[in-house]
Structure 1
Amino acid sequence: MGLDESYEEIVRMAKDGIVIIQDGVIAMVNPALQRMLGYEEEELVGRPVEDILFPTAIHLFEEGQSGLDWTNRNGTSYCAALESSDGRIVNVEFSASHFVLSGRPAVLGIVRDITKEVELEARVTESETKYRRLFDSSPIAYFTLSPRGNVLDVNNAAVNLLGYREDQILRRNLASFVPDESRTNIVQQVTSEVAQGKSLESFEMQLQRKDGRNVWVSVNANLVERGDGSDAIALMALDIDRRKLAEAREHEERARANLYLEVMTHDLNNINQSLLFSLGLLEANPEMPPQFKQHFRDSAWNVRRAARMIANLRTLMRLSTSPPPPQEIDLFGFLQSATAAAQEDFPWKTLEMTTNIEPGKFLIAGHEHIHDVFFNILHNSLTFDEADTVRVEVKAEVLDDLKSVRIEFTDHGPGIPDEAKEFIFRRTGCPDEQIVGRGLGLTLVEQIVRGLGGRIRAENAVEGDHTKGTRFIV
């Protein structure tokens, strides 16, 4: 063979495959290459090297061999594909160099099986392709940023969101897409939060499109590790511009409605006060015939009723826009003020109330509109009970180990039909004209109680007989 026996022994002990090619024919193979391809030595030695090359990849070997240079002692390395005895493709890294064997030129090849690496790389490439396809097809804008906020990658949705070409976005700082007035602070806030390992969720900010229009986005961002081991910021921007515009429009319309309501209620209250003053003067006139005085009293009552409805409407609007925060309050003071106010509306009646609510005994998480709860329930009893003396029992007790308070208001008026009880707290949807005529008082009560996390219902004062009065349970 021409190889010294000691060298030949070393070649045979090598773990990498070794082949010697002379004049295009395999002159020697070591056991490692035999095992790699599944051949015996005698099946390979003397055969053309093309016989062990995978047919569709012969060009890889030929291109690699053409790069061999006798002046380069380090040789050359390239990838090739061999064919095993059972027809499998064996991907190899072929390191080739020239040397002289028995006085003639030959090629020494070190063959390393890289099939597993190639398969792994193919799977990684496939996974990256799938990820990229998902990345680009997502309707949500994705940005990959450096820790300083420079754009490293974007998807198609981000391109559409900003209106720039991809090459016009990459390598620019995110701050260049933020409106001038908030540019520096916003980007610093995002990058500093995420750089500390915190996840940013539902952070609302504006980005500026190429056409100069600002668009609202909801941002989620977190720190990720890139393929090269460096840190990056993955930022997702959800377009919420339509939602923000709708919110702004709703806020504007609500403000306009509140303005109209404020003007209307203010003017109506002034008119009501003038009417009450005039009716009071007429009723007090000694020359007024007695048969007309009752009409004046009825008219004054209806004017006061209208004023109450206006006040309730204003409170409902206030609760829907800016409800006061709950705080610790004492029920006693609110019950006393509500009782006096309800009695004032009915000077021809007497409100006879019994209660176990005492100063400091029942404290709840509430606000000033608890007065409206007490007032409207008591006012309801005075309105519909035709007796001159209206009896109401108000009883409170602590429930659930001091976690809540139950209050019962029991009157002895005409009661509420069972089929109408579910409608009395709703201003609309009631089939009973009498219940509709109750105004906004009980609707307001339900809104206040529910806003404080409570519940309210109505039941018969006497079980099975709705004509014996009503019990409101808060």
Structure 2
Amino acid sequence: MTGGSQERVKSWISTIQDMRRQGQTGVIILADGLVAHLDETACSLIGRPAESMIGASCTDVAQWLCTTMGLQSCDQFSSFLSGLGQDDTITIPRSVEGRNQADVIMTRIAVKCRTTRIVIVLVSCPCLDPRLAFRAGASSVVYRDLFERNPAAIWEEDFSATKLLLDRLQLESPGNIRERLQSNPDLLDSCVRSIRVIRANRAAAELQGVKSPQELIGSLSEVLSPEGRVAMIEELALLAEGVRNFNIHSVVKAPDGVSRNVRLQISVPDEFAHTLERVLVTMYDISDLISLERELQRDSRAYAAVAEAASSEGTLKELCERVLAAVVQLVDHELGVIRRYDRVSESLVLQAAIGFRADEIHQAVSVNDDKHFASEVARTRQPKFVHDSSDYSPRMRELGVKCAIFWPVLKANGKLWGVLNLATRRDRVLSESDRRFFEIIAHLFGQVIERKTVEEQLRESQAILRSFADATPGPVFIKDNELRLLFINEYMRRGVLEETWIGKTDAQLLPARMAQRSMAEDKEVLAHGARSFEQMLADESSGGVRYFKAFKFPIHVHGRPPLLGGFSLDITKERMAEKRAEEARSRAEFLLDLIGHDLNNMHQGIMTGLELMLRSPLFPSELRDLAESSLSQVTRSISLIDNVRKFALVDRGTSHVLPVDPYDELQAAIVLLQQSFPDQAIALECGVHSGEFLVLADGLLKEVFYNLLHNAVKVSPITPPRIRIVASKDEAGMVEFRFEDWGPGMSDALKSSVFTRLELPRGSGMGLTLVKRIIDSYAGQVWAEDRVKGDPSQGTSFVVKLRQASS
């Protein structure tokens, strides 16, 4: 070792010994600017374990020391640690006020090596016990981290001057501090000005609306809002009374201008209990909690009011009045209206109103009235909030309303029941909680309304059922699933007490055979569904028999075994009338067959004689017109008798429909038409083809086609008569036939009655009426319409629709 090196080592030893005598000295060895070694004292001073710092940079070490020891200049310390060149020593003052405020002394010693730049740093804090230093350092790190990151606003304040002021005031003039602060604003201002803000965290800065916590450092009077003065009086009074840990409520105004409710937690560390040099004020924003508590209280009162109204025995209108009164009070409004939607009149009918004179409110408002917001809500099923004067309706301005809400009240199935409307003549902006409250109340009110409506309907139905049952001329009853009577009507109560029937079975009330048959019927109905039973009972008064028709059916109740309902009707008169009608029908058919056969024979003889006379060259010409007219009348008579027989056949209902090719029936009808008009040419266009369709009909289909064709020829004003027939199939599987003519057409009144008149002005006889009867028996349709839509003069189209048969 050279002489210079020896001197330098001696200098290091002397420096280390000197620093150790002054206080605790820690050794940090840096290799190429990174921490390579720390001794125990250095770890204590920094407040971190050695393993977490190995490999750290000079900047990291400087930051840790600044944080732990309260150094003012981290940049200066960082530059010193990373510096090159000669050995050097610096002294950095500590800025944190406290019991240990000694300066920090640091010495840098550079060691020359071939490949690595070694720097030995000695850090010394005079008069600091190493164990206290380590705990203080570690605690400081934790405290600062918690302080800065805490979501609550935290203030570290110095009340020492304030305490001296209050103590002196008490010595000079003892009294109640709280009352004196309340009555003397100047005294309160003096106390507030004496309070110093030492430190505040980021949350406090955000609450006050400043960019940095540093802007809050200084006098508290610069940041105390007027809303906080009341809480400050309580805080000062409690501190003056010696209370060191307490909570108080206060109100602060946030940067957005909205007042916030806060809870202040005041804590004084033990070491400052007498001087109040350090007071921690933690501010918790409890606005949401208070709002939630108020909402819960309001919701609870609303639920109670609605539940109380729902359980009352009053009418639906009285229920609406009770609920409306409660809701208006809970939301602090003066005006309220409930309207029920009446589907028949398409209007909102007044059910309840509060705060209006009789002449200020309409009894009913049309849902199509654009001047009323309630009508708009009824149409859209969406709520509407109005608190902007530009949105006010003329009616709102007329009533002086400044804020209003309209909410639809819906049933469980989503359909509209009515509209709930609340309003106030004061300026107010509805909050989100108000809207949520309205939504809950409207939903709950809708359920209660629906339940009340069902109850009223049930009572009304019960009254109607009893009235209907009592007016029925026969027994009406309801039994349970064990066939015990639950209800009987007036007919069954005659001459007996109702109590003697209710709860008993037929076996206990009726003769054995009748009871056995009745209970067997009841069991069949419960097992298989509704049934009707006909009974024939001996009539003791007349010595004959009486007929009864009993109708029994299951009554299904959700979640319960089915009930059995039934009623019986005395059908003796109907049975006797049917018997007489059947006898009369048989006689009429016999006479019809007899007369038809005999008359047709007579007509055939007359027709043959007239035809022979008309063909004879000896027949006088002056009698020819008379003979031809007679022949025409005979022909019509034969047709009339034939139609009557066909009417009887259709009414008898003995025919059965089968798959029929309409082409064959149409061709047969065309042949009959040509035979009916042998000397007349007919322009007939037929769009129906063989095998194209199969329809459900019978042999009378030919009569339908013939009558439609015959009618078209008879009414045609042109020669030759023109007829067009087209057929098609619609989406419902029906085959449609259109018989179009170029005749004089029909009025709308005639179109609607042409199939029901037995005699028409144009002489079409019973043909079209017969057509309607036959088509109805096929479960088809027939009607008349203009051939050219809207122009009856262009002719008529007769449309026939028949069910298609499967091929």
* Equivalent of 1:207 in 524, 537, 542: 537
1:458 aligns with 2:784: yes
* Equivalent of 2:681 in 347, 350, 354: 350
Match of 1:371 in 2: 702
Match of 2:475 in 1: 141
Compute the TM-score of the two structures, normalised by the length of structure 2.
0.34
Match of 2:761 in 1: 434
Evaluate the alpha carbon distance shift between residue 250 and residue 159 of structure 1 in structure 2; reply closer, same or farther with a 3 A threshold: farther
Q: Deviations over 1:78-100 (max 9, x none)?
A: xxxxxxxxxxxxxxxxxxxxxxx
Q: Deviations over 1:296-353 (max 9, x none)?
A: 3333232212211221122122222325232221100110111111211111112332
Evaluate the alpha carbon distance shift between residue 157 and residue 470 of structure 1 in structure 2; reply closer, same or farther with a 3 A threshold: closer
Q: Cα distance, 1:358 vs. partner?
A: 1.0
Q: Which amino acid aligns with 2:475?
A: A
Match of 2:737 in 1: 407
Evaluate the alpha carbon distance shift between residue 263 and residue 158 of structure 1 in structure 2; reply closer, same or farther with a 3 A threshold: farther
1:263-302 correspondence to structure 2 within 5 Å:
263-302=594-633
Task: Name the structure, 1 or 2, with higher relative contact order (CA <8 Å, separation 6+).
Answer: 1
Q: Which amino acid aligns with 2:547?
A: W
Q: Which amino acid aligns with 1:442?
A: L
Counterparts of 1:438 and 1:143 in 2: how far apart (Å)? 55
CA contact (8 A) 2:530 2:554 kept: no
Q: Which amino acid aligns with 1:207?
A: L
SS in 2 for 1:324: coil
SS in 1 for 2:721: strand
Tell me, which stretches of 5 or more residues in structure 1 are unaligned? 1-129, 178-183, 225-231
CA contact (8 A) 2:788 2:795 kept: yes
CA contact (8 A) 1:425 1:446 kept: yes
CA contact (8 A) 1:142 1:236 kept: yes
Q: Deviations over 1:105-150 (max 9, x none)?
A: xxxxxxxxxxxxxxxxxxxxxxxxx9xxx8x9785337999x9x9x
Q: Deviations over 1:170-215 (max 9, x none)?
A: 67645469xxxxxx9x779747735x83445221221223344321
Evaluate the alpha carbon distance shift between residue 174 and residue 309 of structure 1 in structure 2; reply closer, same or farther with a 3 A threshold: farther
* Equivalent of 2:658 in 327, 336, 339: 327
Counterparts of 1:447 and 1:223 in 2: how far apart (Å)? 38
Name which of structure 1's ranges 463-472 and 389-398 shifts more when overlaid on structure 2. Answer: 463-472
Q: Deviations over 1:45-91 (max 9, x none)?
A: xxxxxxxxxxxxxxxxxxxxxxxxxxxxxxxxxxxxxxxxxxxxxxx
SS in 2 for 1:354: strand
Tell me, which stretches of 5 or more residues in structure 2 are unaligned? 1-461, 501-506, 556-562, 801-807
Counterparts of 2:595 and 2:731 in 1: how far apart (Å)? 44
Match of 2:775 in 1: 449
Counterparts of 2:715 and 2:667 in 1: how far apart (Å)? 21
CA contact (8 A) 1:348 1:388 kept: no
Match of 1:238 in 2: 569
Match of 2:754 in 1: 424
Q: Which amino acid aligns with 2:750?
A: A
Counterparts of 2:608 and 2:721 in 1: how far apart (Å)? 28
SS in 2 for 1:325: coil
Match of 2:72 in 1: none
Q: Deviations over 1:347-395 (max 9, x none)?
A: 1112332112111102212222111110001111222336553331111
Counterparts of 2:756 and 2:552 in 1: how far apart (Å)? 45
Q: Which amino acid aligns with 1:204?
A: E
Evaluate the alpha carbon distance shift between residue 236 and residue 386 of structure 1 in structure 2; reply closer, same or farther with a 3 A threshold: closer
- How many residue pairs end up in the alignment? 320
Q: Which amino acid aligns with 1:329?
A: V
1:307 aligns with 2:638: yes
Larger radius of gyration: 2
Counterparts of 1:159 and 1:464 in 2: how far apart (Å)? 63
CA contact (8 A) 1:141 1:157 kept: yes
RMSD: 4.3
Match of 1:317 in 2: 648
Evaluate the alpha carbon distance shift between residue 385 and residue 175 of structure 1 in structure 2; reply closer, same or farther with a 3 A threshold: same
Q: Deviations over 1:418-459 (max 9, x none)?
A: 55333322225x8xx623x32100111122223323332223
Match of 1:127 in 2: none
CA contact (8 A) 1:199 1:220 kept: no
Q: Cα distance, 1:407 vs. partner?
A: 1.0
SS in 2 for 1:263: helix
Q: Which amino acid aligns with 1:319?
A: V
Q: Cα distance, 1:155 vs. partner?
A: 8.8
CA contact (8 A) 1:456 1:472 kept: yes
Counterparts of 2:611 and 2:687 in 1: how far apart (Å)? 37
Q: Which amino acid aligns with 1:425?
A: F
Q: Which amino acid aligns with 2:765?
A: G
SS in 1 for 2:781: coil
Counterparts of 2:554 and 2:685 in 1: how far apart (Å)? 65
